[in-house]
Amino acid sequence: MSAAATADWERLIELSPEEMQSRLGEALHVYVTAMRYPPSAMHHRGPTWLGHAAREGWRGVAAVDRRGDMVGVAYGYRGAPGQWWYEQVHHGLLDTGDADGARYWLRDYFELTELHVLPGTQGRGIGEALLRMLLDEAIGAQVLLSTPEGPSRAWQLYRRVGFEDVLRNYRFAGDPRPFAVLGRPLPLD
């Protein structure tokens, strides 16, 4: 476990697209550690994350410890037709016969793309603080996210702040795990 994982978090910071680029290695380390992915996943996700930072409405935030090391990261942007995630969720909703849900949820939303906290710092309110700061000025009538199915701290957080089911047990292309798509109106209470 890294020193950052055992240190207490101190504060939240906003990330500009340029800061995300300069701190991408740290952010991806948080991601692969929190998701228990192999380190090689960092190389595949890096270009995607940088591409996301150029999208309309992109916002990024991070939690840092006393030394300034990143212990949590979150970002998102305005969802739109033609984006991979939008198309996946749109088809998933249509496949379940929920055309009304597709029209409602996908018409004007902020996609909470990533929210990760190092395991050694979880349970200290970092995830909720990141979520609230990220969504405080998010663009859209609602916010949508996807998370692996099953009990987790993430599930508890999302339910606690009012996220509801949009699509359950969905399998995104390229990932065999079942995911839930959750949403709620903006702003947060």
Which residues are designated catalytic?
A: 158
The CA distance from 114 to 41, in Å, is 14
β-pairing verdict for 109-117 and 179-185 = unpaired
Among 140, 183, 178, CA closest to 161: 183
CA-based end-to-end distance of the chain? 35
Classify each residue of 79-107 as buried b or exposed e, where b means 16 or more C-beta atoms within 10 Å of its C-beta. beeebebbebbbebbeeeeeeebbebbbe
| Distances, alpha carbon 62 to alpha carbons 6, 68, 73, 177, in Å | 17, 10, 4, 27
Determine phi and psi for 149, rounding to 5 degrees. Answer: -65, 150
The CA distance from 65 to 4, in Å, is 7
